[in-house]
Structure 1
């Protein structure tokens, strides 16, 4: 009722609980009950099974798979290693399922110290996602940097110039959507598990009061969201699979 048009479920890994059954019910609720134009998920893809698409694929507009490298050794180095599961082969399988069950396929890549020199053009063109979101590695105090952080990401950080070099190498890829640090931290509306907006403007995730307690209009004042930056980075696009008019 406050005007939400799109919801994106991300993590952590959103398929962890019950192999995605709880997530599937959320996706179905957002489409059937809330009638949202766009429902999407960001996942590493390791826990997704075809039976999930059979049951819930019709309610999902976009599945974004995190893929930071097409080199398995680099994936292990970054922390994307999935044991005996080959990340790249799994990506191809998920791409095939998205096509079969009519879900728009997207790839997210975080560019960092270990993949900044990689050439991903051939792989991206083969997979042909509707969007390839390319992020510059971003430090968030308390999350991946600073005291009490869950993980330390300082060794992954690259400069703006290095990030631009990666973008220049891939500029011919038509689905490329770049996002530097300056665009990222002010242009997202992020809700945590307590339904609090997370403000990233000061380099950390400062929570608002919960929308369950004070409502959307009051809580969003403390979200740090900059609508102009959101629009400038291309945050508004054809995000419903009905509008994408894909050649399945």
Structure 2
């Protein structure tokens, strides 16, 4: 089944995941922010390490609600931060000063917003059909010496036993994402090889897995994501309604006894 990249919402606009998550409904910004609470500290640490600071020209792709872009604007000082997303309604209230916004699609052949010292994208390439091509395009937007920092989900558990309700639900979620909007996380462990293949130097990667504690931001994120995609997950046949409910209970109570999908962050420098 082809990925749904153009489904229109009630206002006639198209955007990522609309057929699955219905992001025009209340609460989508809150769901995105839960992911930010789980992962922003890791992303900020890596961006500091590559040298973001005063006068840095930054591009944040798939900026979501703008938590990373706003932080970059504070770090960049008199520099310039461009936050790009197909849906900028959560970004526009924060525009001003060092932070600009742009409604655009990175896969558009005409996408060329300028040249930057730092380019960051998190949970973006996993949803696109040709990550190697996108990496090459982003590399070309870097000035010599500029850094590319990319992050995506990495699945550490679902390919193996046991077939617990939690693992069945996660398998169903990944299948639903792949068949409905084209998401693919199978390739993400190969990020270092892809960055090296794009001609970047100083390539490395790290993985962060937030704990599935009851009431944690990551547990709340997955519970909300599952609730929004429940019908698509059940339709895969990989989990039934009773198993789905048991997985929700395990996640809510902190008794899943498993690993969350992690964040793999990879980076490199344009020579």
Give TM-score scaled by structure 1 length: 0.36
TM-score, normalising length from structure 2? 0.34
